[in-house]
């Protein structure tokens, strides 16, 4: 459960406790979509770079190796040898972004696998059953991720259906947790706020789902085409109606600057594929801004990626060497770069928490929010 330790303005410093440990918040969850970080990082690597929470994907694991196989292997923690907290998303985003020929009905969504085209049905109960088989600590409600922009009438109908799906998710999660052979009977269901860029729909939906008294709440459907200011405005509007004593999760966001600004607006949990994805294309984060290691100016640069970073990569390798690995298309280039970027994000959260502990978060925000958005 969540304990709010301290605030500075809207920013929150807290602790979240679940079956697999206590998480210091604000926190960035490292995304291991299919039970592994893209870029060849293992569970041991995650420990070494300061990861607190690993995030995996319900849709992908349902298709490969299947959630029944993961269950037979003792659950996702044992399968991937990660002993810390795991959050699984509901699969909703992937159903709406990857799957083809989807048909949305009240009972759920009929769609074709993006891998081989075979037909699949997923509804609230199925999503809960898959996530229960995975044995994650936090499971996300099944929702519709609405395209942006979408007509107001469609958004309202979708949000109403997402609410009804959440009620079904809550009932099924409770049923599964009560079974004697459940992988993780302490699994917690978090609800998701939707509503596109219609602030009034967002606020009304947040009020309704808050009444369900869930352990945590997420803001979903952002970072999908709206402006950065629109995203911040929505967070501010919704935050006022999020329970103070429950965790707040901003899904799929974002840049280091986005995270600092969202913390300032009251968010506790974050996830994003950006640090790993950017790293695989030689775009690396530093405390002075982002760099592109493929630039010719780094050919003979013997300094680390970031002189202010003490990650395992910066302690040992030069920009010139890692650039060479990219040019030579060596797999090690991705591994080292992903390790650095994820360490940077985890260290960013550590610095945010320290600033909150010491009552100087606003100073930290002024120093780094714009600086970390630069490209150098």
pLDDT in the model for residue 48 = 96
The arithmetic mean of pLDDT across residues 99-111, rounded, is 87
For residue 37, pLDDT beyond 70: yes
pLDDT in the model for residue 94 = 82
- Cα 369 to Cα 175: distance, rounded to the nearest angstrom: 44
| Beta strand 247-250 pairing with 269-271 | parallel
Residue with tokens 């509901």: 90
pLDDT in the model for residue 339 = 98
pLDDT in the model for residue 113 = 87
Catalytic residue among 45, 137, 268, 271: 271
φ, ψ for residue 249, nearest 5 deg: -125, 125
- Cα 315 to Cα 303: distance, rounded to the nearest angstrom: 10
pLDDT grade for 102, boundaries at 50, 70 and 90: confident
The arithmetic mean of pLDDT across residues 64-92, rounded, is 97
Is residue 3 a contact partner of residue 11, using CB atoms and an 8 Å limit? Answer: no
pLDDT in the model for residue 147 = 87
Q: How many CB atoms lie within 10 A of CB 207?
A: 14
| Beta strand 27-31 pairing with 269-271 | parallel
pLDDT in the model for residue 134 = 98
Catalytic residue among 89, 137, 143, 306: 89
pLDDT grade for 211, boundaries at 50, 70 and 90: very high
Lowest mean pLDDT among 111-125, 231-245, 270-284: 111-125
Please name the residues in contact with 9: beta carbons below 8 A apart, sequence gap of 6 or more: 264, 361, 362
The arithmetic mean of pLDDT across residues 21-48, rounded, is 96
pLDDT grade for 99, boundaries at 50, 70 and 90: low
The string over 104-121, giving b where at least 16 C-beta atoms fall within 10 Å of a residue's C-beta and e elsewhere, is eeeebbbbebeeeeeebe
The arithmetic mean of pLDDT across residues 339-355, rounded, is 98
Q: What are the Cα distances from residue 307, in Å, to 11, 75, 354, 374?
A: 29, 40, 21, 17
**Residue 271 is among the residues annotated as catalytic for this protein:** yes
pLDDT grade for 97, boundaries at 50, 70 and 90: confident
Closest by CA position to 143, among listed 59, 76, 48: 59
- Cα 342 to Cα 234: distance, rounded to the nearest angstrom: 27
pLDDT in the model for residue 93 = 83
Q: How many CB atoms lie within 10 A of CB 321?
A: 15
Closest by CA position to 34, among listed 273, 225, 270, 261: 273
Average pLDDT taken over every residue of the chain: 96
Greater pLDDT, 147 or 72: 72
For residue 376, pLDDT beyond 90: yes
> What are the structural domains of the chain?
2-96+122-272 (3.20.20.105), 283-373 (no CATH)
For residue 32, pLDDT beyond 80: yes
The arithmetic mean of pLDDT across residues 262-289, rounded, is 98
pLDDT in the model for residue 12 = 99
pLDDT in the model for residue 172 = 98
Q: What is the pLDDT of residues 232-271, one digit of tens each?
A: 999 999 999 999 999 999 999 999 999 999 999 999 999 9
pLDDT in the model for residue 101 = 78
């Amino acid at each position: 459960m969540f304990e709010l330790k301290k605030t500075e303005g809207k920013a929150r410093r807290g602790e979240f406790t679940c079956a697999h440990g206590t998480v210091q918040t604000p926190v960035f969850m490292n995304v291991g979509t299919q039970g592994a970080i893209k870029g060849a990082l293992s569970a041991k690597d995650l420990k070494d770079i300061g990861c607190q929470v690993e995030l995996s994907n319900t849709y992908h694991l349902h298709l490969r190796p299947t959630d029944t196989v993961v269950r037979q292997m003792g659950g996702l923690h044992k399968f991937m040898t990660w002993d810390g907290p795991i959050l699984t998303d509901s699969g909703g985003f992937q159903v709406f972004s990857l799957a083809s020929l989807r048909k949305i009905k009240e009972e759920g969504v009929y769609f074709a696998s993006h891998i081989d085209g075979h037909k699949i049905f997923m509804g609230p109960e199925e999503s809960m059953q898959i996530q229960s088989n995975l044995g994650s600590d936090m499971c996300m409600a099944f929702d519709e991720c609405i395209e942006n922009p979408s007509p107001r009438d469609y958004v309202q109908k979708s949000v109403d259906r997402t609410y009804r799906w959440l009620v079904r998710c809550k009932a099924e999660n409770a049923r599964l947790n009560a079974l004697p052979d459940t992988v993780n009977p302490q699994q917690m269901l978090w609800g998701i706020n939707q509503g596109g860029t219609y602030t009034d729909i967002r606020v009304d939906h947040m009020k309704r789902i808050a009444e369900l008294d869930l352990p945590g709440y997420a803001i979903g459907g952002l970072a999908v085409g709206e402006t950065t200011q629109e995203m911040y405005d929505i967070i501010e509007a919704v935050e006022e109606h999020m329970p103070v004593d429950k965790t707040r999760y901003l899904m799929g966001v974002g840049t280091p600057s986005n995270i600092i600004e969202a913390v300032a607006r009251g968010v506790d949990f974050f996830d994003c594929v950006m640090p790993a994805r950017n790293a695989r294309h030689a775009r690396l984060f530093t405390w002075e801004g982002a760099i592109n290691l493929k630039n010719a100016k780094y050919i003979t640069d013997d300094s680390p990626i970031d002189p202010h970073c003490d990650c395992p990569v910066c302690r040992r390798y030069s920009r010139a060497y890692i650039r060479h690995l990219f040019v030579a298309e060596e797999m090690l280039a991705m591994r080292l770069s992903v390790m650095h970027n994820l360490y940077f994000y985890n260290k960013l959260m550590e610095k945010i928490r320290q600033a909150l502990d010491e009552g100087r978060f606003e100073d930290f925000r002024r120093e780094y929010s714009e600086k970390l958005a630069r490209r150098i």
